[in-house]
Chain A
Amino acid sequence: MRIVVQDAPFDFGAEAEAFASGRHDMGAIVTFTGVVRDFGNGGLDAMEIEHYPGMTQKALEAIAAEAVTRWSLGDVLVIHRYGRMEPGEKIMMVATAAPHRKDAFEAAEYLMDYLKSRAPFWKKEHATTGETSWVAAKDEDEDALTRW
């Protein structure tokens, strides 16, 4: 299990390859990466992500540890950035390794659902007009937790 919280960009391809390599008993590797999405009209200048140093690492470790108890997993990777990112930049990634794909897919979805609403990150959008706004949590993100 590897949990990384950093401001620097990460190399998604290299991380995914390193995570998938050298495993002989894991038949399934699932990866997900979240990307800064523009409003659709080129209006987003940047996304700024604030976090709670001290709590973030522990919260992510607890979420990953819970996933390991619920599914048959060989390994889990979570990388989550904070700071300023431009549209197209990767914000975070999760990877799961499991003997079978069902466990790998479900665990990856569980990790995503929980780190959306239970890991102490807050997103702020900076529009090209100079306006800023905090991204509001969605009810559907909270509802997503009830399925687990």
Chain B
Amino acid sequence: MNVLYFAWVRERIGIPKETVTTDAETVADLVAELRAREDRYDLAFSDLSALRVAVDQELTDFDASIKGAREVAFFPPMTGG
């Protein structure tokens, strides 16, 4: 699946997008896998209350299933308007 990062999450991890092969069942499982990779991921995901997630371009929460998902995006709380 494609994993996307926006705003300071993108800056902290250092890339806007990557393809991830995973058996993770939920967003939280995917986060745990990413955090185990490298410090920059661990740092970016250290406070989940400061993050939001979208699965297939719909806002959801960290307990959401990602089975069959094509795209998961992580970003800080939005500041539109």
Chain A residues with CB under 8 Å of chain B are: 34, 50, 52, 54-55, 58-59, 80, 91-92, 112, 115-124, 134-137, 142
With A54-B57, A58-B57, A122-B6 already in contact, the answer to whether A142 and B73 are too (CB < 8 A) is: no
How far apart are the CA atoms of A121 and B79 in the complex, in Å?
6
Chain B residues with CB under 8 Å of chain A are: 4, 6-8, 54, 57-59, 73, 75-81
Asked if B57 and A112 make an inter-chain contact with CB atoms under 8 angstroms apart, the answer reads no
**Which residue from A92, A112, A124, A142 sits with its C-beta under 8 Å from B77?**
A142
Contacts of B6 in A (CB 8 A): 50, 52, 120, 122
Total number of residue pairs linking A and B with CB closer than 8 Å? 69
With A120-B54, A124-B7 already in contact, the answer to whether A52 and B75 are too (CB < 8 A) is: yes
How far apart are the CA atoms of A142 and B75 in the complex, in Å?
16
With A120-B6, A122-B6, A122-B7 already in contact, the answer to whether A52 and B77 are too (CB < 8 A) is: no
Give the most central of B4, B59, B76, B79: most A CB within 10 Å.
B79
Contacts of A120 in B (CB 8 A): 6, 54, 73, 75, 78, 80
Asked if B80 and A119 make an inter-chain contact with CB atoms under 8 angstroms apart, the answer reads yes
How far apart are the CA atoms of A25 and B73 in the complex, in Å?
43
Q: What are the 4 A-B residue pairs with the smallest beta carbon separation, nearest first?
A: A137-B77, A121-B80, A122-B7, A116-B81
Contacts of A54 in B (CB 8 A): 57
Contacts of B77 in A (CB 8 A): 117, 136-137, 142
**Which residue from A50, A55, A115, A116 sits with its C-beta under 8 Å from B57?**
A55
Closest to B10 in A: A50
